[in-house]
Amino acid sequence: MQVGIVDYLLRLKEEACFYMAQGLGFRCIDLAVDVVGDPQRILFDLDRPNELRELSTSTDMAVSGIYATHFLRENLVHLDTHHRQPAVVALKTLVERAKSHAIPTVIVPLFGASEVVGDKEHGVLQEVLENLLATTALDGVTVALKTTMPTSRLVALIDRYQSEHLGICHDPGNGGPLGRDPREELRELGHRVAHVHLKDRLHSGESVALGEGDVNLEAVINGLIEIKYDGPIVLETPASASPIEAAKRNLAAFRDRLAA
């Protein structure tokens, strides 16, 4: 299993994140995107078309995904088509940027502004996905939904499209406070899991360092092995006041659980 980290947790400039993550022992990195089209990001700078690949090659750090935190503040499932359109365009832009930079996954968090709070939002999400799959060539890119919607409903949503370009970003830390059993949840999700984010949480919902919360990490690891998941496991753990030390400790904690 390739273990990675979300770049913003290191609190460094983009290029420095790659070298620091490499030095800490990570093998891949998710690029969090708060603002789609941000000209300061290599991802959106058309004058630097090869820089991400060169950075990835020189550090031997795969770019495992684009983490579209943009949708935490811009509503992808707004009930009004006009208000939803900028987010829909942003999603298509991210897919195109992922293709251009050979990034395999775009992770779409359905939280914050884009939370699916009821049947109407769920219907809008279906419409958005149908439109995306029908109008956008996803060539080599998987759109992975990150959500706490009921597992059975999420499985039905993914299966509705029968597309290799649509999957799930599973984060057992989000299901823990809801009382979900991580191994059983992974059994239900099965092959639909395209990406994994990992953090530890208390039952109260507070994120803590790996091994210090209530998430059964052994059950998570065994569940991933059981479904034969071989993709990246990307740490989304709290950075604390010392982000580099926190990343180092969390990676060590995960490796300890993996070796147990």
pLDDT tens profile 140-156? 999 999 999 999 999 99
- Given pLDDT bands bounded at 50, 70 and 90, which one contains residue 69? very high
pTM: 0.97
- Distance separating the N- and C-terminal Cα atoms of the chain: 15
Q: Over range 15-22, report the average pLDDT.
A: 98
Please determine, for residue 68, whether its predicted confidence score (pLDDT) is greater than 80. Answer: yes
pLDDT given for residue 178 in this prediction = 85
Give the contacts of 94 (CB within 8 A, at least 6 positions apart): 33, 36, 66, 68, 70, 106
Q: What is the pLDDT of residues 95-129, one digit of tens each?
A: 999 999 999 999 999 999 999 999 999 999 999 99
CA distance 218 to 20: 27
Q: Over range 236-248, report the average pLDDT.
A: 93
CA distance 84 to 178: 29
- Given pLDDT bands bounded at 50, 70 and 90, which one contains residue 93? very high
Question: Domains along the chain?
Answer: 3-259 (3.20.20.150)
Q: What is the pLDDT of residues 163-194, one digit of tens each?
A: 999 999 999 999 888 889 999 999 999 999 99
- Given pLDDT bands bounded at 50, 70 and 90, which one contains residue 133? very high
pLDDT given for residue 60 in this prediction = 98
Please determine, for residue 76, whether its predicted confidence score (pLDDT) is greater than 80. Answer: yes
- Given pLDDT bands bounded at 50, 70 and 90, which one contains residue 239? confident
pLDDT given for residue 88 in this prediction = 99
pLDDT given for residue 18 in this prediction = 98
